[in-house]
Structure 1
Amino acid sequence: MIYIILSVFCSVTVAVLLKLAKRYEISIIQAVTVNYFTALCLCFVFFKPNISAVNSSAPWPIYIGLAILLPSIFLVLAASVKKLGIVKTDIAQRLSLFIPVVAAYFIFREDFNSYKLIGLAIGFLAIFFTFFRKSEETANSNNWLYPILVFVGFGVIDVLFKQIALFKTLPYTTSLFTVFCLAFLVSLVIVIIMIVTKKTKLQLVNLACGLILGLFNFGNILFYLKAHQALAQNPTTVFAAMNLGVIVVGSLIGIIIFKEKLTRLNYAGIIFALVAIVFITISQLHAVR
């Protein structure tokens, strides 16, 4: 579970950085590009991936899929926050848990015991109650396309990373390095196009933000993969604990640092999340017996 805790910490830090980036008008795409360059450099320095082992037998469709999805989902996330706000976007992101859970049952053939089913049921209630807000609905229904893309995008990314974790022919660090390289190239192409079309201009503050973002994004994905390897027979445990953990920690940071006001239902959601994590942890203990 230590890997899940570390991944949650890094994930929440990335979310906080994105919130601050919106406040200080940081260029998301520039920061994301530097973020992946930083991540691939860290991967190369600390893990020394065997690049020569990457050949035609590598899972290239998964690599390419992640290389396109990772930077793209950052842009969609930023657009969703701008159009519908942070709360609705967070709901969409956390509800993406449904996709890997369904994949765990139908693709990875994971067995569900009663504790896990109860934990997931309570967890889904926690997601709703934690992020419940009274707000006016937007008049432009087309804006709902953004949270839908966030929902699908994060769900598919979770499944693809699980498949990389289970791919035994190549070390996961080598696969991780390859994904970062490809994601950086995709992001760089987007930045170049935006600069040529004069939709953005290079700024030092964006590069600095990208360096910090890359450090924590690298940690988030790395520990997430390690958690899947440690709990390879129970991917739902990782999926659920990661998402619910982010909800709890993110809510606490929102209350303490960003002074967000929560309703009684929001506090009830946090309690539900803690209970759900307990049930899912119990389900893991029963699964390894």
Structure 2
Amino acid sequence: MIYIILSICCSVTVAILLKLAKRYQISIIQAVTVNYFAALTLCFFFFKPDINLLNSTAPWSIYTALAILLPTIFLFLAASVKSLGIVKTDIAQRLSLFIPILAAYFIFKEDFNDLKIIGLAIGFVAIFLTFLRKSNPDQKTGNLIFPVMVFIGFGAIDVLFKQIALYKALPYTTSLFTVFCMAFVVSLIIVTVMTISGKIKLQLVNLACGLILGFFNFGNILFYLKAHQALAQTPSTVFAAMNLGVIIVGTLIGVLVFKEKLTKVNYIGIIMAIAAVVCITLSQNAVR
């Protein structure tokens, strides 16, 4: 259980760092670039990936899609945290699990039981209630695009990672290392273009922030994998504890520490989101 707790802490810490980035004028794209360099370095030392196994038959199209999506969605994640706060952003990220579940049904032709269907129905209502808010003339309506992109983006990333996991010719850790390397290159190209065009200025503070971000981002992945190894017989326990933990801890920190404002309807949406995750988790072990 300690691995699950550590993974939750790392995941929420990433959101907190992104929340603080605006206050200290951190360049997100620079921090994200360094973040992937730190993540691939840690991945190399912890997982010892064998890059000699890579060849032309590797799923390069999936690697490329992930390399582009990962830094892009990270920017939307940061924008969502800044505009709507940690609570709603974490909800959007965790509810993105519905996308790979729907992909399992429509693409991979998996059978759904009643509990999973109920969980999906509750989840979609939860999404609506969580982001519902009173009209505010000072609030940009475009801000809602950020959590929507987080929802879609993380869902798509999850589907792509699942496809990599199904590719048995390469160890998953080798694929993960490859994706981190390519994501770093994509981020570096973006930073280079923005620096040359004068849109951003390179600063050491962004390097430090990126290293810290990369440490916790990788820690989230490392402890999540270790939790699955330690509880190999009950993967649904890991899944439920991780998603519920992030939603609950993220909500508490958002409301108590950052004083994020939520309506009663938003709280109902959060409760329904938790119920949806529970239903979907229980459905994994339900008799069909």
TM more than 0.5: yes
**Secondary structure of 1:285's match?**
coil
Contact kept? 2:7, 2:221, Cα under 8 Å: yes
1:129 Cα deviation (Å)? 3.2
- TM-aligned CA distance change 1:135 to 1:272, over 3 Å: same
- TM-aligned CA distance change 1:278 to 1:85, over 3 Å: closer
1:211 Cα deviation (Å)? 0.9
Query: Which amino acid is the alignment partner of residue 202 of structure 1?
Result: L
Look up the match of 1:101: 101
Look up the match of 1:169: 169
Look up the match of 2:126: 126
Which blocks of at least 5 consecutive residues in structure 2 are unaligned? Answer: none
Deviation track 1:6-45 (CA, whole Å, cap 9, x = no partner) reads: 5444322211111111221100011001100000000000
Q: Percent identity?
A: 74
Look up the match of 1:71: 71
1:175 Cα deviation (Å)? 0.4
Deviation track 1:144-196 (CA, whole Å, cap 9, x = no partner) reads: 65555444322211111111122211111100000001111111111122222
Which blocks of at least 5 consecutive residues in structure 1 are unaligned? Answer: none
Once the two structures are superposed, the pairs formed by residues 174-253 of structure 1 within 5 Å of their partners are 174-222=174-222, 245-253=245-253
Q: For residues 5 and 272 of structure 1, what CA distance do their matches in structure 2 show?
A: 23
Q: For residues 271 and 258 of structure 1, what CA distance do their matches in structure 2 show?
A: 20
Q: For residues 2 and 168 of structure 1, what CA distance do their matches in structure 2 show?
A: 29
Contact kept? 1:241, 1:280, Cα under 8 Å: no
- TM-aligned CA distance change 1:142 to 1:277, over 3 Å: closer
Look up the match of 1:159: 159
- TM-aligned CA distance change 1:94 to 1:226, over 3 Å: same
Deviation track 1:214-237 (CA, whole Å, cap 9, x = no partner) reads: 1121233455667889999xx999
Query: Which amino acid is the alignment partner of residue 13 of structure 2?
Result: T
Q: For residues 64 and 41 of structure 2, what CA distance do their matches in structure 1 show?
A: 19
Look up the match of 2:269: 269
TM-score, length of structure 2 as denominator length:
0.82
- TM-aligned CA distance change 1:15 to 1:80, over 3 Å: closer
Q: For residues 236 and 81 of structure 2, what CA distance do their matches in structure 1 show?
A: 28
Q: For residues 145 and 278 of structure 1, what CA distance do their matches in structure 2 show?
A: 27
The alignment's C-alpha RMSD in Å is 3.5
Matched, 1:39 2:39: yes
Query: Which amino acid is the alignment partner of residue 218 of structure 2?
Result: F
Q: For residues 15 and 108 of structure 2, what CA distance do their matches in structure 1 show?
A: 29
Contact kept? 1:97, 1:239, Cα under 8 Å: no
- TM-aligned CA distance change 1:148 to 1:253, over 3 Å: closer
